[in-house]
Amino acid sequence: MAHDDLRSFLAAIQSTGDLVDIDDEVDWDQELAGIGRLGCERGAPSFRFNNIKDYPGWRIMCNPIATWRRMAVAFGLPADSPVPKLYETYAVREQQLVPPVKVKTGACKEVVIPGDRVDLFDLPVPMVHEGDGGRYLGTWDLVVSKDAKSDWVNWGMYRFMVHNERLLTGFPRPTSHLGKMLLDGYVPEGRPMPIAIAIGCDPLSHLAAAATFRIAGNEADLAGGLRQAPVELVKCETSELYVPASAEMVIEAEVYPDRVNQEGPYGEYPGYRSGEMGNAICARVTAITHRRDPILTLDTTGFMDSSATSTSISGAIAIQRRLEANGVPVRAVYIPPEGGVHLAIVSVRKGGAETARKVVDVLTVRRALISKVIVVDDDVDVFNMAAVLHAFATKCHPARGMHLTTYVGRANTLTPAYTQEERVSRSGASVAFDATWPPDWAADATPVRATLDSMYSPEIQRRVLERWKALGL
């Protein structure tokens, strides 16, 4: 069963051994996040920090679904469920949208702080990495915004940095739906855009916020589908927006239509700090509401963080659907978390140069977030990186196997390999490595893989496997 709020999820991961309480004092200045960072790098349990220096009574938990085990528990599945099962669960549930329901009040309203009494430094906002531009409050959040001209409500996950007592600066990319709503709807009218930053909702609502979802699609419906139960929403105090009622905290704010402020740099999801401080959207907090004893959430962003797992699933399935819609004979797609969401593995029923070229073209036509794709034949399990690496190393022709495309204006500026100039002009490149056999090679001219399942008769395979079993291996 999916979880109604962060707390029931925490109880579940505690019972599976995937949450550790830390009661000794930790410093909000890098020490707390450093522990979470090492946790990501070592695939450790999540941590709940119960004693934060300078902030008695406050609690923070980190990296809610940064491991496949915690992701499985979030879906209501056994913690040791295999990754393909998690992908399959997401793919099925995302097709069954469930609209949210509105309720009168909720736990997130237990304490209401009006805008004129807000001081963001009253909150235990962590300094996540050395070299960050400031302290980050929104790292694992759910940001609600509404289109100026329609009923479209967007949920996204965008980072927010404390600029001063009442101002936040944030980094929704211009290509993000929040960025699009702001630039297309509110900026031309010179109107402030209301947003609500919800922190500590049920894990699948956050997964939905971070998912690649269609323009004009409401991620609240997707969250309901993933949860297999509607999300309960409650109205904000200072705007017409609705937020998950069970959130630990909600920061209501207005984005200025005519003002930017400095934000970043930040240790980023590809696993590097690679940007500079730059201009970003600026939001004035209009109210904060929270539970009486809130537990804040933190993504200790970097190598193998929560975006590595969450975007692995939602991104790969979005890629699969896009390739299918464009006639690519795709069988499966995997985004390995170790690749910092810069690498996708695509298996196809019919390989060759034409297919590889089409894959890279389709994936870069609008937003180009993935810069490298390995295309493999469908006898290669995309989730088995040993098999993928073997195919890549042996089947990709060093001269003819690369299919490159370059673009300007839509590159992912967080790609660490890009120069500062490329980031500014948003120019970049994507490449598909064709690790498939050319379809015009005759069967007897195509190398046969020297593995049990390829080079031996079914009869020998059967006998070997029986013997294997008898040996208790």
E-state strands within 163-291: 167-170, 193-199, 232-235, 242-244, 249-263, 278-290
Q: Parallel, antiparallel, or unpaired for β 46-49 and 111-114?
A: unpaired
E-state strands within 203-272: 232-235, 242-244, 249-263
Total of residues contacting ligand FMN (CB under 6 A): 21
Q: For ligand FMN, which stretch binds (CB under 6 A), given 64-72, 256-264, 273-281, 306-314?
A: 306-314
Residues in 126-185 that interact with ligand FMN by CB under 6 A:
140, 154, 156-159, 171-173, 176-178
Q: Binding ligand FMN by CB under 6 A: which of 46, 169, 205, 306? A: 306
Q: Which is nearer to ligand FMN, 120 or 281 (CB)?
A: 281
**Shortest Cβ 231–ligand FMN spacing (Å):** 16
Q: Binding ligand FMN by CB under 6 A: which of 46, 205, 310, 312? A: 310
Q: Which is nearer to ligand FMN, 232 or 299 (CB)?
A: 299
Contact between 270 and ligand FMN per CB under 6 A = no
Q: Which is nearer to ligand FMN, 118 or 211 (CB)?
A: 211
Instruction: Look up residue 133 and give its two tokens.
Output: 């531009």
Instruction: Look up residue 20 and give its two tokens.
Output: 């550790």
Q: Which is nearer to ligand FMN, 211 or 359 (CB)?
A: 211
Q: Is 94 exposed, middle or buried (0-12, 13-18, 19+ CB in 10 A)?
A: buried
Instruction: Look up residue 218 and give its two tokens.
Output: 């409401």
| Site track for ligand FMN across 283-302, x = CB under 6 A | ----------------x---
**Shortest Cβ 182–ligand FMN spacing (Å):** 11
**Shortest Cβ 408–ligand FMN spacing (Å):** 19
Q: Which is nearer to ligand FMN, 34 or 203 (CB)?
A: 203
Q: Which is nearer to ligand FMN, 309 or 347 (CB)?
A: 309
Are the CB atoms for 218 and 224 separated by under 8 Å? no
Q: Which is nearer to ligand FMN, 289 or 311 (CB)?
A: 311
**Shortest Cβ 173–ligand FMN spacing (Å):** 4
**Shortest Cβ 98–ligand FMN spacing (Å):** 18
**370: Cβ contacts below 8 Å, ≥ 6 apart:** 315, 319, 335, 341, 342, 343, 344, 363, 430
Other CB atoms within a 10 A radius of the CB of residue 27 amount to 14
Q: Which is nearer to ligand FMN, 172 or 294 (CB)?
A: 172
Q: Binding ligand FMN by CB under 6 A: which of 89, 246, 289, 307? A: 307
b or e along 224-235 (b: 16 or more beta carbons within 10 Å of the residue's beta carbon)?
bbbbebbbbbbb
Instruction: Look up residue 146 and give its two tokens.
Output: 């509404």
Q: Which CA distances in Å does 177 have to 59, 74, 149?
A: 31, 25, 14
Q: Which is nearer to ligand FMN, 156 or 225 (CB)?
A: 156
Other CB atoms within a 10 A radius of the CB of residue 69 amount to 22
Q: Binding ligand FMN by CB under 6 A: which of 300, 311, 413, 436? A: 311
d(CA 453, CA 468): 14
Q: At 241, which amino acid appears?
A: L
Question: What are the backbone dihedrals phi and psi of residue 264, each rounded to the nearest 5 degrees, phi first?
Answer: 75, -175
d(CA 201, CA 278): 30
Looking up tokens 């907090």 gives 285
**Shortest Cβ 365–ligand FMN spacing (Å):** 16
| Site track for ligand FMN across 321-340, x = CB under 6 A | --------------------
Report angle CA 58, 61, 67 to the nearest 5 degrees: 180
Q: For ligand FMN, which stretch binds (CB under 6 A), given 17-25, 191-199, 283-291, 305-313?
A: 305-313
**Shortest Cβ 377–ligand FMN spacing (Å):** 30
Q: Which is nearer to ligand FMN, 159 or 291 (CB)?
A: 159
Of 292, 383, 397, 283, nearest to 331 by C-alpha is 383
Cis before residue 174, ω within 30 degrees of 0?
Answer: no
Residues in 180-239 that interact with ligand FMN by CB under 6 A:
210-213
d(CA 443, CA 448): 9
Are the CB atoms for 366 and 408 separated by under 8 Å? no
**Shortest Cβ 269–ligand FMN spacing (Å):** 6
Q: For ligand FMN, which stretch binds (CB under 6 A), given 86-94, 100-108, 307-315, 326-334?
A: 307-315
Q: Which is nearer to ligand FMN, 333 or 375 (CB)?
A: 333
Q: Which residues bind ligand FMN (CB under 6 A)?
A: 140, 154, 156-159, 171-173, 176-178, 210-213, 299, 306-307, 310-311
